[in-house]
Structure 1
Amino acid sequence: MSAVIAGCGDLGTEIGLRLAGLGHEVVGLRRRAELVPPPLTGVSVDLSTEVPELPGDVDLLVVATAADERTPEAYEAAYVDSLRHVFDGVRAAGSLPRRALLISSTAVCGSGDGEVVTEDTPPDPVTPTARVLLEAEDLFHEQFPYGTVLRLSGLYGPGRTRLIDKVRSGDAAGGAAWTNRIHRDDAAAAAVHLLTMADQPLTLYLGTDDRPVPEREVLEFVAQELGVPLPEDVPEADSPPRGAKRLSNARLRESGFEFRYPTYREGYRAVLAGEGSRHS
């Protein structure tokens, strides 16, 4: 069976490699096809401006595009315009994929006030970029009513060392605001799980690990693992408005998915140990 990854960056590539490992023939779409690693077949296309030429026997479709910068215009191009062009490519190919998956973000859930957020919580995007993401989700479900949206929380993993670098340099500070995250490998594994599970997946899942945690706790853990002084403690009232929602992964767990890195502890230990690599 064939699969298409529309947006073959770090996460999309990891999804594609895992599908290829299961025996799928995988086509990866990105601006520079030479960056798509074998055994994936790379196709050069700028999805924000071009309609991709897709094979007519696509069984699985993953849309995992990413914006070049955090502006509404960049998000519109990466998520909405690209999605429309993928739709046009699917229609031109003449057959709908058996399963379709859109990678989105839990940013559409809003900032919260400490409550537990599930898939049943109404979306409340508070930033212009989050509103664009929700628009893309709506467009996706208009085209694929049976499709699945996977909203990911804060992604970290191989090569994503910004937080570690800040702790190591002594430039990190955190307060009591709740944070949510998922290791890249678990995010990719969750996508493959939803694409290949025996039962038809539901139309929405939150992709986040088992433990929403105050930001301060994560920074202290990384500092202890590095053997450097603890980061500065910022009183909650003085912390930046980063949000305070606590995300639940109960629906993803109930689907049969198992995390390799169920909390930040296992995940950041793996990153600090140099496990895995980031795809260019």
Structure 2
Amino acid sequence: MPNNIMIAGCGNIGLKLAQALSSHYEVYGLKRNASLLPPEIKGISADVTDPASLEGKLPSSIDYVVYCLTAGTFNDEAYRQIYVDGLTNLINELKQSSISPKRLFFVSSSSVYHQDDDQWVNEDSPVEPSGFSGKRLLEAEQVALDSGIPATNVRFSGIYGGHRTRLLQQVKNGSANANSQAYTNRIHEDDCVRVLKHLIEQDISGKNVEACYLASDSEPVRMKDLISWMTKELNISASSENKPASKGKRRAGSKQCSNKRLIDSGFEFKYPTYREGYGEMIARIKKEEA
């Protein structure tokens, strides 16, 4: 029998993951209005922040759970409700329904790292976030690890691709800070989907799956160098050329994310660096504007 996989949160990444898995597995998608899901995904209409809405809604058998929700607003309360309380509510409902998944995957972020001195970080690096977003995500990671279900936290770095075109638009309109010396770490949305699918299938095949993976592409880059490359590819003048070098700290700090553990697991990137990912997006923009 095929494995049953439930994806809590069917936004861009969750929905793409559900569709990528649906041809080989029984896939359930949990979201507030599951009627919006395509027919190949079995919908579960529930709100993880409301425990009552989850009661009796889950299928009797779930082999894998992927918690892939996104806070609607960037504030501490929203992050607590979605990541900490929501995950806790879902785990409690699994227990109350006597459902024992083989593994829980929690989608986290590299914002749990506090490092701001250009150093390399990996899954074993200290995590002492000062911002609420990193603190709440780290708290939720611990909820997953303490759940009694084998759990894996996947820390994605700066996600781009699909509808995530903010930096490209900033470069085009000249508002990007072309003098920022901070390192930025990137991963394409499609590779986020492929990472999660890869780890699920590693577990299904009986291969070792670690409790944490840092998922970022293979080339951290200084923001000024990324923007310089973009301006050349877009054939536009340098962005923010008259702005002074940034003195304030970026919310994401300045660190270099190592993907060695992920690569060692056998994962291969579709977009190994920003050049392939943003290059494809820029080519599409040029075609649309031609």
Place the TM-score, normalised by the shorter chain, in its bin: over 0.9
TM-score (norm 2): 0.90
Q: Deviations over 1:6-43 (max 9, x none)?
A: 1111111111111113x111111111213322311222
* Alignment partners' CA distance in 1, 2:248 and 2:276: 26
Q: Judging changes above 3 Å, is the alpha-carbon distance between structure 1 residues 102 and 257 closer, same or farther for their aligned structure 2 residues? A: same
Q: Deviations over 1:61-116 (max 9, x none)?
A: 10011101111100001101110111122113312111210000110011431110
* Alignment partners' CA distance in 1, 2:45 and 2:254: 40
Partner of 1:278: none
* Alignment partners' CA distance in 2, 1:127 and 1:91: 32
Establish whether residue 205 from structure 1 lines up as the match of residue 210 from structure 2. Answer: no
Higher alpha-carbon deviation: 148-157 or 159-168: 159-168
Match of 1:258 among 258, 264, 268: 268
* Alignment partners' CA distance in 2, 1:38 and 1:113: 48
3-state SS of 1:46 partner:
coil
- The RMSD of aligned alpha carbons is 1.7
3-state SS of 1:186 partner:
helix
1:131-146 matches, within 5 Å, as: 131-144=135-148, 146=150
Higher alpha-carbon deviation: 51-60 or 212-221: 51-60
Establish whether residue 64 from structure 1 lines up as the match of residue 68 from structure 2. Answer: yes
TM-score (norm 1): 0.93
* Alignment partners' CA distance in 2, 1:155 and 1:247: 13
3-state SS of 2:17 partner:
helix
Establish whether residue 159 from structure 1 lines up as the match of residue 129 from structure 2. Answer: no
Query: Structure 2: 5+ residue runs without aligned partners?
Result: 286-290
What is the aligned length? 274
3-state SS of 1:202 partner:
coil
Higher alpha-carbon deviation: 12-21 or 260-269: 12-21
Q: Is the 2:66–2:105 Cα contact (8 Å) retained in structure 1? A: yes
Establish whether residue 195 from structure 1 lines up as the match of residue 203 from structure 2. Answer: no
1:59-208 matches, within 5 Å, as: 59-144=63-148, 146-174=150-178, 175-197=180-202, 198=205, 199-208=207-216
Q: Percent identity?
A: 36
Higher alpha-carbon deviation: 132-141 or 231-240: 231-240
Partner of 1:214: 222
Q: Is the 1:49–1:81 Cα contact (8 Å) retained in structure 2? A: no
* Alignment partners' CA distance in 1, 2:19 and 2:221: 31
